[in-house]
Amino acid sequence: MKIKAGVVGLGFMGRRYVEFLQRLDGVEVTAICDIRKEIAENLAKTTGAQVLSRAEDLATSSDVDAVFVCTPEDRHVDAALAAIGAGKAVMIEKPVAHSLEAARSIAKAAKSGGSTVMVGHLLRFEPRWSAAKHAIQAGEIGEVVSIATRRVGNVLDQEILAGRTTIPLYYGVHDLDIVRWLADAEAVTIYASRRSGVLHQSGYEIHDLYCAILRFDNNVLATAELGWHVPAAALAAPTTGLTVVGTEGWLKVEQAATGLQYWSGSGQRSVHPVGDVTFWPEVHGVPGGALATELLHFLECVRTDMQPVITLADAIEALRLSLAMEASADRNEIIRLSEFGLIDSR
């Protein structure tokens, strides 16, 4: 069964989706859409895909079986609901939405319509994080005691993001999902503090560092450091990773340790790891890495009605933890998750 794919939103990840989907077996990119029409038209020249001006038109097109929503998170809900309403399978880039209300409306529509819906939490498909999960499940390090995660990006990220989102929404959904996944438990409390200054000096009115402590209902403690304050000259500083300590061992993931580095005197100011050897590499034109694995899993779910390994409930909980992290920093208080972001039953 060849799946006809439509991609909404052609930023960095949207274009990457198109590039990979058109090279995977059993799928064809038939339609693309972006509010910047010239970007869509240029991409269409290399893919042969039809350019549609509205997400709703792509979502309801008879020439599309599965819709990939890669817009900014505050525009996820309309495209996703249109696609679900048209009976299409949907994959949404993380986070699932910008608010819990929007995320839950997507989940309600998916349940009612029976659509396959998956959210692109890429780390769940990256071999090192997956290997960490399997080692913990196998009891290799005993019972988990603590999890520490760090993800600190470069100030130059704002040349693309331009302050449109926050660290908890952009990075937090990655790592808070991972700590919940590895803890194999639900968070009970979260406390976060934050600072600003680095990005303010660059003209962006957003905070540049959050640090959070989480306690889970199985007594696991976790910390998450998330930031955008690595100096511009340190283009690929090794500031992202994971450490898990158990009663009988420990494990560690260093995201920047790809096994391949380079330095170039032509404009590069630091030694570079080559990230594409893990997340979205291409070898002789064949897509691989975590993104290819993630896309292939979603496509198999569409073909077989299999439940995605990351559920909508998982994605919504990652969003809830991220919003709770932000709320804790706003209020300077511990957030009890049993009281945060509850569904209004009135």
Q: How far is CA 207 from CA 155, 164, 201, in A?
A: 11, 12, 11
State pLDDT tens for residues 265-284.
665 555 555 557 888 888 88
Among 346, 261, 337, residue whose Cα is nearest residue 100: 337
N-terminal to C-terminal alpha carbon distance within the chain: 45
State pLDDT tens for residues 76-131.
999 999 999 999 999 999 999 999 999 999 999 999 988 999 999 999 999 999 99
Q: Are 123 and 177 in contact (CB under 8 A)?
A: yes
Looking at the predicted structure, is the pLDDT value of residue 231 above 70?
Answer: yes
Looking at the predicted structure, is the pLDDT value of residue 235 above 90?
Answer: no
Q: What is the pLDDT of residue 345?
A: 32
Determine phi and psi for 11, rounding to 5 degrees.
-75, -155
Among 45, 46, 84, residue whose Cα is nearest residue 64: 84
Looking at the predicted structure, is the pLDDT value of residue 264 above 80?
Answer: no
State pLDDT tens for residues 122-135.
999 999 999 999 99
Determine phi and psi for 311, rounding to 5 degrees.
-90, 165
Q: What is the pLDDT of residue 212?
A: 98
* Confidence label for 55 from pLDDT (cuts 50, 70 and 90): very high
The domains found in the chain, sorted by start residue, are 3-120 (3.40.50.720), 124-275 (3.30.360.10)
Q: What is the pLDDT of residue 346?
A: 27
Q: How far is CA 132 from CA 194, 203, 221, 271, in A?
A: 29, 39, 17, 27
Looking at the predicted structure, is the pLDDT value of residue 54 above 70?
Answer: yes
Residue entry with tokens 């997956």: 130
Averaged pLDDT, 162-188:
96
172-183: burial string, b at 16+ Cβ within 10 Å, e else: bbbbbbbbbbbb
pTM score: 0.94
Looking at the predicted structure, is the pLDDT value of residue 149 above 70?
Answer: yes
Q: What is the pLDDT of residue 344?
A: 45
Q: For the chain, give the mean pLDDT.
A: 92
- 305: which 2 tokens? 């009605």
